[in-house]
Amino acid sequence: DVYTRQPPSQSPHHDFAFNTLAVRNQVRYSRPAVPLEPGRMAETEILARLTLAVTGMHGADPSAVDDLVIGQTLGKAVQEPHSPVHGRDPEELAAQLAGESGPERRLDLMLRLGPYGDGFGAHPEGLGLERLLAHPHGIDLGPLRPRLPQPLKTRSGKIELLPQPIADDLPRLRRAAAERPTGLVLVGRRHLRSNNSWMHNVPALTGGTNRCTVQVHPEDAERLGLRDGEPVRVKGAGGEVTAPAEVTDGVRRGVVSIPHGWGHDRPGTRLSHASTDPGVNVNQLLDGSLLDPLSGNAVLNGVPVELSPLG
């Protein structure tokens, strides 16, 4: 499948995400160590084709996305009074970009216009793609620098600890805290040895307490006729699943818990060891109708469910 994501050895890499957690400024870029197989698309090309499809340009050359981003970015930069390229010709700047591909040219653009960039010649010692390629082990840019309040995008220019939409929703929170559901509600959980579902495919990390069980309080278990270790049917608005009961006072009365990330018997799952103890996919209990009114996100915890012995 040409749309399958290629392994890291076949991908270029410039870190954007984890550098936000770094304790020191540094920068590095790595080209792919292994070429792509014939017929396989680079991940950047896949994303470009998807972008073209959702913008009504399906079938256009993927390079159109790179050209559009470069053109728009330079068009804004030359109009910004504090930009190092203020007043210059965007086409002349685009012709200076280095790189073997559109994504590399875009990276060169971001580096050169960034806070450590060469500003297309305004700061000759600054960064650009060519300088990164000449330093394959990276470049140390020194200690971290304070950035506040520059990253803040709030209207007040301050860190708003209690935005007005959340303040307006506090009465609903107070009501929810005071009300006690009449039935059972489902919450998730995460085991130390299964922070990610692929860990279920590592034999040394499975077994023991790392199991997909329905945790239920002893009083609820007695009331419902559930016994520890025996199968229990869990029914929600979207469907039902069956998993072993785990009677424990680790959950409060009225609450049941099933870990997320299981259900390795679902079609398309290719985890050979995990499939021997597949567990259940808790998402099957949801119908997608419960949404958080503030964010619009799906509600995944505190979901009403019904429990009964399988027999």
Say how far apart CA 13 and CA 43 lie, in whole Å: 11
**Nearest one of 242, 288, 239 to 263, comparing CA atoms:** 242
CATH code for residues 182-309: 2.40.40.20
The pLDDT of residue 3:
42
pLDDT digits (tens, 9 = 90+) for 94-143: 999 999 999 999 999 999 999 999 999 999 999 999 999 999 999 999 99
Q: What is the DSSP string of 167-196?
A: HHTHHHHHHHHH---SSEEEE----GGGSS
The pLDDT of residue 209:
86
The pLDDT of residue 1:
34
- Name the token pair of 279: 């567990």
The pLDDT of residue 5:
57
Residue in the structure block whose two tokens are 């409060």: 252
State the DSSP H helix or E strand holding residue 243, giving kind and residue range, or none if neither.
Answer: strand 239-247
Residues paired with residue 186 on neighbouring β-strands, in sequence order? 256, 303
Q: Tell me which amino acid residue 179 is.
A: E
State the DSSP H helix or E strand holding residue 168, giving kind and residue range, or none if neither.
Answer: helix 164-168
Average pLDDT of the chain is 92
Q: Are 226 and 161 in contact (CB under 8 A)?
A: no
pLDDT mean over 302-307: 94
The domain limits of the chain are 8-142, 182-309
pLDDT digits (tens, 9 = 90+) for 22-73: 999 999 999 999 999 888 888 899 999 999 999 998 889 999 999 999 999 9
pLDDT digits (tens, 9 = 90+) for 70-87: 999 999 999 999 999 999
pLDDT digits (tens, 9 = 90+) for 235-261: 999 999 999 999 999 999 999 999 998
